Amino acid sequence: MDEKDVIIAQLTERIAHLQSENIRLQAEIARLKKNSSNSSKPPSSDIVKPKTVKTRRRRKRKRGGQRGHRKHVRPAFPPDQIDEVIEYELADTADLRALNEWRIIQQIELVDRPFVVTEYRARRYRCERTGKIVTAPLPPEVVRAGLLGPRLSALVAYHKGACHMSYRTIRTFLRDVVGVSVSTGQLAKVTHKASGALAGAYEELAAALPDEPHVGADETGHKDDGRKFWTWCFRPEQFTLFKIAGSRGSDVLKAVLGETFGGVVGCDYFSAYRKYMKDAKAAVQFCLAHLIREVRFLSEHPDRVLARWGGKLLGHLRRLFRTLHRGATMTEAGFARSMARIRRDFLRQVRRPPPRTEASTLADRFAKHGDQYFTFLTTPGVEPTNNLTEQAIRFVVIDRKITQGTRGERGRRWCERIWTLLATCAQQRRSAFNFLVETITAHWSDQPAPSLLPANL
């Protein structure tokens, strides 16, 4: 081999190395460009929002109500909810005839002392024969309540669970606004009492969950005294249940949904759901919203071949959702034909990947589980995305960032129960505070507790 051939071989080797390095750097650039719009990363991880290219200049709208929109006015209080009426009339009414018309302003105000203090006395007696002291019995609900009654206890629990407030913050609020001084230890006891009152309603939902026809599932991290736990969210159509567990594996799904779940699980492509699908023979609807983000990432990849393939897949998915949104205006047969055609075109495209690792990975997924992305087409009531479950679990993520988690078993059980209550009442358009009052009152009075099951509404 002469000197020229050596140089050519060296250059060829150098070019191959640079090409390999270029591919690696392009993949690294694509990874660094991941955000909440093209991956499963949370919006809070977006340091800078990506710049959008404006196709046309739009006039900036003024703040507030827009011309042509219907005005929204708060409904007035009915007469039975008005505590006092104050009328103003002119002193000099010469040449004026009084009309049965008024300019009305309804004003809500806090009372100076928004609480009442009741002292319960049980007289003591001395037995003349034995000298023993006998005390008249107090009502059990009074003894169980202690310092704070049912409504004030429910308010403390609501502040703690729904408002992410610490015990110190609740103590400050009660002292400065309500005018009641309560120790943080007392507030902790009240919260644990409320947790015990909610146990029955929570267990009732847990027992009903395996019989639901379709359940959305998602999970997020949970901190407990420095240890790593997981908060699982299960969302059927009319209630939501949270479960804090030490595992992110399929064993939690088996414990909560059962080993022979007969419904459809809506979820992302996380391995625990795939294992549960295999072990329990469960039907699954993998989230199309997650898939769209993954495909969008491919369509924005620096590799043109990969980006072109991802763009075609994204086009099929956009057609799918456009058809879904106008499904109400289509005939049943026409809708079915359109969706079947889109499904066929998408699967044909995704199963013919370019020679790229990212494309092959996605193609392999659809070779194994392609049908599980389209379960919603054949099973009425199943949503194509898991968005509602993700929305429900967002409250938990915010609570974790504010409160820094729990510190033991009692804290974890409290979080499960209060989060379940708040999410379920929001679904059913019920007052979570009123439910807390009713539950605590019933628990202390040995009365049947209210239910969160839809059939019992």
Least confident of 58-67, 228-237, 309-318: 58-67
> What are the tens digits of pLDDT across the range 217-246?
999 999 999 899 999 999 999 999 999 999
Q: What is the pLDDT of residue 410?
A: 95
Q: What is the pLDDT of residue 153?
A: 97
Paired strand residues for 222: 229
In the predicted structure, residue 315 carries a pLDDT above the cut 70? yes
Taking residue 372's Cβ as centre, other Cβ atoms within 10 Å add up to 20
> What are the tens digits of pLDDT across the range 72-130?
888 999 999 999 999 999 999 888 999 999 999 999 999 999 999 999 999 999 999 99
Paired strand residues for 51: none
Tokens matching residue 104: 């009305």
> What are the tens digits of pLDDT across the range 364-382?
999 999 999 999 999 999 9
State the amino acid at position 438 in one-letter form: E
427 sits in which H/E element: helix 409-428
Q: What is the pLDDT of residue 134?
A: 95
The closest of 325, 368, 328 to 347, measured between CA atoms, is: 368
Q: What is the pLDDT of residue 195?
A: 97
Q: Is 429 left (phi over 0), alpha (psi -120 to 50) or beta?
A: left
> What are the tens digits of pLDDT across the range 254-268?
999 999 999 999 999
| Surface-to-core class of residue 312, CB atoms within 10 Å of its CB (0-12 exposed, 13-18 middle, 19+ buried) | middle
Least confident of 25-29, 204-208, 366-370, 407-411: 25-29
Tallying the residues shown for the chain, one arrives at 457
Q: What is the pLDDT of residue 439?
A: 97
In the predicted structure, residue 50 carries a pLDDT above the cut 90? no
Q: Is 263 left (phi over 0), alpha (psi -120 to 50) or beta?
A: beta
Q: What is the pLDDT of residue 77?
A: 94
Q: Could you tell me the pLDDT band of residue 450, with boundaries at 50, 70 and 90?
A: very high
In the predicted structure, residue 330 carries a pLDDT above the cut 80? yes
> What are the tens digits of pLDDT across the range 180-201?
999 999 999 999 999 999 999 9
Percent of the chain whose pLDDT exceeds 90: 78
SS3 state at 108: coil
Domain boundaries, the chain: 288-384
Q: What is the pLDDT of residue 19?
A: 77
Taking residue 169's Cβ as centre, other Cβ atoms within 10 Å add up to 14
Please tell me the distance from the alpha carbon of residue 143 to that of residue 141, in angstroms, as a whole number. Answer: 6
Q: What is the pLDDT of residue 51?
A: 56
> What are the tens digits of pLDDT across the range 286-297?
999 999 999 999
Please tell me the distance from the alpha carbon of residue 313 to that of residue 417, in angstroms, as a whole number. Answer: 42
In the predicted structure, residue 328 carries a pLDDT above the cut 60? yes
Q: What is the pLDDT of residue 7?
A: 78
Taking residue 173's Cβ as centre, other Cβ atoms within 10 Å add up to 16
